A and B are shown apart, each in its own frame.
Chain A
């Protein structure tokens, strides 16, 4: 194992070294760093050109200049890493640090949601193979997969930001929209849950009716102007969550799990109003601390109530607690909506098309959270739509393959419930090939989303790379390349190792 890692690392280093050399020379020859000065009519133009040649060592050919750059990198071995400065004298390490932060903020949530949704939808389509739902999802995911991101971004800006902001001036859902949503919900849920035509009809009626009811209530209560979940609906959501989580995690037959989850929900409801009362003064660490504490209590309830299978029960009530904390948090964010919406910085147009926050806006954790949401929504969606498609395809294929295996038939023959067969035997094994994909994707995350960042004026890694490349600014380009290259190599290695650990059929030698 160790020798495998060692060999891989050494090989990777050689590849990285060669790649940086090629990158350096190509970038250096990609443009003329003096172009703007050449067409200047400044009266001291010659001094300016001379100065820049001095600063950038332009009198040394790039294939030698590279080694001066490399010297700064190798100095990192003795703790004096020197990534250099960009054209306007800013140190590259600081630029990279701030860019990585912004990129992680943007791309992490998009990647996580894409994985989560993609896996859920992919598994659901696999279980309902060749149904109308399956075909629809296949069609939609291929559609999204093939869309260029800059075009998606423009559409999102036009309809989701500008259009939705216009809608929010007098937010009433039109009757046509209600009908469309109702039919859509009925179709989706009956498709997912499947079964006999009678069962599909009932599901369609319930889900469609519920959607229509909710939309009507939204209109009646002017929900968009003053959104909230509220204690009553929160209770409904909480109980629903407890039941779903229990049914997926242990099965509803497990009374201890069910009761623990319901107890967690009850505790959440009791703590809801006291939390609201103090929430205004909380800062981020306190909020996350409280949420973590609540989850810990949830796990404890399951553990002490769990009897012989305290493990699964604690897991079930822990997940329920996490979601319940989420519901309470979302409700609290919603309460910050109205002051945010009416603030002079936002002036009634909350959904943003550029940047990561509203300039100069100051407020509580909750207001700033809403601000981050309105700014990240569009770029996250743009990335999500494209990333999601791949995950649905991979997880569907993987799940279908597993479901055809002999051990699934054996499990069914043993008389195991469908839930146990799907969740425990099939799902876990189906996720093994996905680890490789996830590892690659996270490596890509650091590289940023070049086009998305530019279109949404997000100052992350992608933008840093593009700007520097356009200005033939070698040091930031190389800094970017070094980081993304290293991360890609590391995650490839991790994927190989993890794969070996997860799948006993594969041995890393």
Chain B
């Protein structure tokens, strides 16, 4: 063996191996601090969650921690008032008059007071009353009538057309500029859910008139005057900044004033596609106090990736999309201190029948015999294996999943138990093939009844639901046809199907939230359902402020709806929240937004090191 080659061999080996010997400077190269990390599946992208662009869970979770509000939902869907921040009182029911007052000493993080000007902005923007132009867009989503738009006012609010629009009179400011009184033209029973402060009026005005170099006080005064005088020329740039000025991608890209907040935390860092960091607001004493200095919300889209990140200690809490695979993966990490909480989300699955398409459930098919059509509907609903769907498809993910028995209230919400007990849903708790056959026989329906069933083809769970329903209904003589379509959403209400299954997303406990679904020709009424009693009940409900009477009316609605064979509700979408119990405590999932963020002030960081 020649010496050069062996030399080379030794040298190669030396390269392969790593080094030794100790010689390290150490030293303070790290800027110290502590943090709790939470995973979410989308970037934070707008500091104004009231615009049609910015209204997304990914923004609202963060803004919930950064901003204060008059009230919030707890994990039982109860609306809790935060009276340390401000109060609101129902001054009069007719005309509906509500007075909102912000407490003294409540400040934005730049030092300016939170006051009536901010509430006035929220009203001006979200009522959309000042909007006198609307944008026209080209295919790029670029506004094509920019000149007209710049001259006019356009608050691009997600709330245009809601209750606030009926506060047409400019609200009065009182109590040293800390109170605002809203007077509604019509009674609005869900008024309590309508109003939140949102972004700062002075920040919006200062940015809209950047060249003027306004002080916070001047900006507030300028804005109030513009609203009171209906000075559209001044409001135009304000509306423009309100609508798009708060959209952000990275912290350094925008004027830092857009991150000014009035809550427990202030946004201190934002990296697109990676994370948003919130640092505790030192002056904050107007609400539940958080115990963690820095909360970082990391963007992890892939559910399985968020589970491994949790297991590896990169995040301390996650709420990924729940599937059987994710639950298995989370279970496998139990030994490391990962706690998994199976939950029920605010979206619920329901089956609707079409009453106006000349199909098997339409009276027109039977020569206008409404009773006969109703019998066929009831017979079909009796064959739907609701419990079977839960046991086979939902309980593997959430073992505690139960039937959802209400069309108007989410399980766990204050109204649910009494509605579910009285609405007649108990008749559909178990499959009743004999009862269904009897109904068909009594109605004089003979032969196979063909039912065209619509759902999304790509949705495996709905494929399975369909298979269960098809098999069960066949026993009673129904021939259920698979009419799945990937564009099922656009087919809703088209009359091309006789029955469908999809989910409604609840975003609040508004008692009028279900109105559009059940009243005659309502916006969400895809079935052609029409019942004069239901319409009348909703009409009374719209003027009824008493909670007990509201419950009574909703119960009436539900009794009619269930008795008419409108359809059935099945289950709430399963959800999951998981956290590292060695690093964090106090995580409590909640069905309504802001999900498990709702009680961030109870979060507590445990020991630094993890996973022995």
Give chain A's interface residues, CB within 8 Å of chain B. Answer: 31-32, 34-35, 38-48, 51, 54-57, 60, 65, 68-69, 72, 82-90, 94, 98, 102, 154, 157-158, 161-162, 165-166, 169, 185, 189, 193, 195-196, 198-199, 202-203, 206-207, 210-211, 214, 217-218, 221, 223, 226-234, 236-237, 239-241, 243-244, 247, 252, 276, 280, 331, 334-336, 338-340, 343-345, 347-349, 351-357, 359-364, 366-367, 454-459, 463, 467, 474-475
Contacts and interface: CB of A to CB of B under 8 A. Distances in A.
Contact of A51 (B52, B142, B490): B52
A157 B332 CA distance: 14
B572 interface: no
Interface in B285-333: 294, 296, 298-302, 304-306, 308-309, 311-314
A354 B300 contact: yes
B80 interface: no
Contacts of A60: 139
A83 B140 contact: yes
Main secondary structure of the interface of A (DSSP, over half): helix
Interface string B443-487: 000000000000000000000000000000000000000000011
A459 B611 contact: no
Nearest to A343: B30
A154 to B, nearest CB: 7
B31 A55 contact: no
Given A344-B34, A360-B269, A193 B9 contact: yes
Given A41-B507, A68-B139, A457-B301, A230 B21 contact: yes
Contacts of A210: 10, 13-14, 17
B516 A43 contact: yes
Nearest to A98: B272
Interface in B7-35: 7-35
Contacts of A348: 609-610
B272 A233 contact: no
Interface string B125-150: 00000000011111111100000000
Contact of A198 (B1, B14, B28, B347): B1
Contacts of A32: 486-487, 489-490
A245 B17 CA distance: 18
Contacts of A226: 22, 24
A203 B5 CA distance: 10
**Chain B, interface residues (CB within 8 Å), range:** 35 or more
A41 B505 contact: yes
Nearest to A46: B523
A229 B24 CA distance: 10
A43 B608 contact: no
Contacts of A234: 19
A159 to B, nearest CB: 11
Contacts of A229: 18-19, 21
Interface of B: 1, 4-35, 37, 45-46, 52-54, 56, 134-142, 158-163, 244, 247, 249, 269, 271-275, 277, 294, 296, 298-302, 304-306, 308-309, 311-314, 347, 486-487, 489-490, 492, 502-507, 510, 512-514, 516-517, 523-524, 608-612
Given A41-B524, A211-B13, A48 B490 contact: no
A157 B162 contact: no
Contacts of A211: 13, 16-17
A360 B107 CA distance: 26
Nearest to A460: B273
Contact of B25 (A88, A157, A247, A335): A335
A483 B265 CA distance: 40
Given A207-B12, A233-B19, A353-B309, 19 more contacts: A38-B489, A39-B504, A46-B523, A60-B139, A68-B139, A157-B312, A162-B311, A203-B6, A207-B16, A214-B20, A227-B18, A229-B21, A232-B21, A252-B7, A339-B26, A339-B30, A362-B30, A366-B29, A474-B139
- Chain A to chain B: the 3 pairs with minimum beta-carbon distance, closest first: A459-B273, A84-B140, A240-B11
Nearest to A470: B301
Contacts of A69: 139-140
A239 B15 CA distance: 10
A210 B305 CA distance: 39
Given A193-B5, A218-B20, A353-B314, A72 B14 contact: no
A237 B302 contact: no
B140 A475 contact: yes
A47 B5 CA distance: 79
A247 B4 contact: yes
Contacts of B10: 206, 210, 240
B27 A349 contact: no
16 contacts: A41-B516, A43-B510, A60-B139, A98-B273, A169-B612, A185-B13, A207-B9, A228-B22, A240-B11, A240-B15, A338-B24, A343-B32, A344-B30, A344-B34, A354-B305, A457-B300
A296 to B, nearest CB: 24
Contact of B302 (A54, A199, A454): A454
A221 B305 CA distance: 35
Contact of B12 (A221, A244, A354, A363): A244
Contacts of B27: 280, 339
B487 A363 contact: no
B16 A185 contact: yes
Contacts of B23: 228, 230-231, 335
B305 A456 contact: yes
Nearest to B248: A90
A363 B15 CA distance: 30
A353 B516 contact: no
Contacts of A85: 140-142
A85 B34 CA distance: 37
B45 to A, nearest CB: 6
B312 A161 contact: yes
Contacts of B6: 202-203, 206
A39 B296 contact: no
A485 to B, nearest CB: 19
Contacts of B46: 88
A379 B138 CA distance: 39
B110 to A, nearest CB: 22
Given A48-B52, A88-B45, A233-B21, A39 B489 contact: yes
B14 A362 contact: no
A276 B52 CA distance: 54
Contacts of B16: 185, 189, 207, 211
Name which of B247, B302, B507, B513 has the most chain A CB atoms within 10 A of its CB. B302
B14 A236 contact: yes
Nearest to A251: B4
Contacts of B29: 280, 336, 339-340, 363-364, 366-367
